[in-house]
Amino acid sequence: MLSSGPLRSASRGPIPIDARAADHLRYIRETMENAAEFTAVPGWGGVAMGVTALAAAFFAARQTAPRAWLTVWLMEAFVAVAIAAPAARTKAHRANASLFSGPGRKFVLSFAPPIVVGGMLTFALYRAGAFAVLPGVWLLLYGTAIVTGGAFSVRIVPVMGLCLMLLGAIALFTPRMWGDILMAAGFGIVQIGFGWWIAKHHGG
């Protein structure tokens, strides 16, 4: 919470000069943190992730064995992380920000829990043989991560998350054969579209 009032001593006694200076520095830092829109969500990285997701959907749709299908998508997840992490770090560095302080830290801490839950649910559903619900679960949880992380970012980011969640909800209640199409739409088309928009309007 920013305070625009002057620094006052609770005891109304003289304020040490270094305490006054430290208060000014704290005020500057808090103002900067509150004012910074975290734009380290990588636009061009999102476009690249979307392209690889389209390729993954193409190959996954041709797999007949569920384990092979799952392997294709897990490989895509690793590729996406390999694209996103350095892209976000580069963009944050360009903006003189850090992924692990201020708004960046809020983004990472809000983004991570749904992704961790997604990983655990994937393992549990794999063991239960419930492959059909995985597309819906992945889209919903990735969308949730984008919405929660995006609450501290530019407005377009949570909108992208909502689109992914909508596709996830549809995937949960449609036949299994739609899974790859909906993931191509979500992880592919939605990420390419929003990634392009973020890159154009929010610094790459």
Binding mask 59-98 for other proteins (x = CB under 8 A): --------------------------------------x-
Q: Is the dihedral of CA 42, 44, 50, 55 positive or negative?
A: negative
* Least spacing, CB of residue 36 vs other proteins, in Å: 4
Number of residues that bind other proteins (CB under 8 A): 22
Q: What burial class does residue 173 get, using C-beta atoms within 10 Å of its C-beta: 0-12 exposed, 13-18 middle, 19+ buried? A: exposed
Neighbours of 9 (CB within 10 A): 11
Q: Is 124 in the site for other proteins (CB under 8 A)?
A: no
**Residue number with CB closer to other proteins (15 or 79):** 15
Q: Decide: 106 and 152 in contact? Cβ < 8 Å.
A: yes
* Least spacing, CB of residue 96 vs other proteins, in Å: 8
Let me know how long the chain is. 204
Whole-Å CA distances, 160 to 51, 98, 181: 16, 23, 18
Whole-Å CA distances, 198 to 122, 137, 158: 29, 25, 12
* Least spacing, CB of residue 18 vs other proteins, in Å: 4
**Residue number with CB closer to other proteins (17 or 120):** 17
**Interatomic CA distance for residues 189 and 174, integer angstroms:** 19
**Residue number with CB closer to other proteins (62 or 93):** 93
Binding mask 16-55 for other proteins (x = CB under 8 A): xxx-xxx-xx-xx--xx-xxxx------------------
- Return residues touching other proteins (CB under 8 A): 2, 4-6, 14, 16-18, 20-22, 24-25, 27-28, 31-32, 34-37, 97
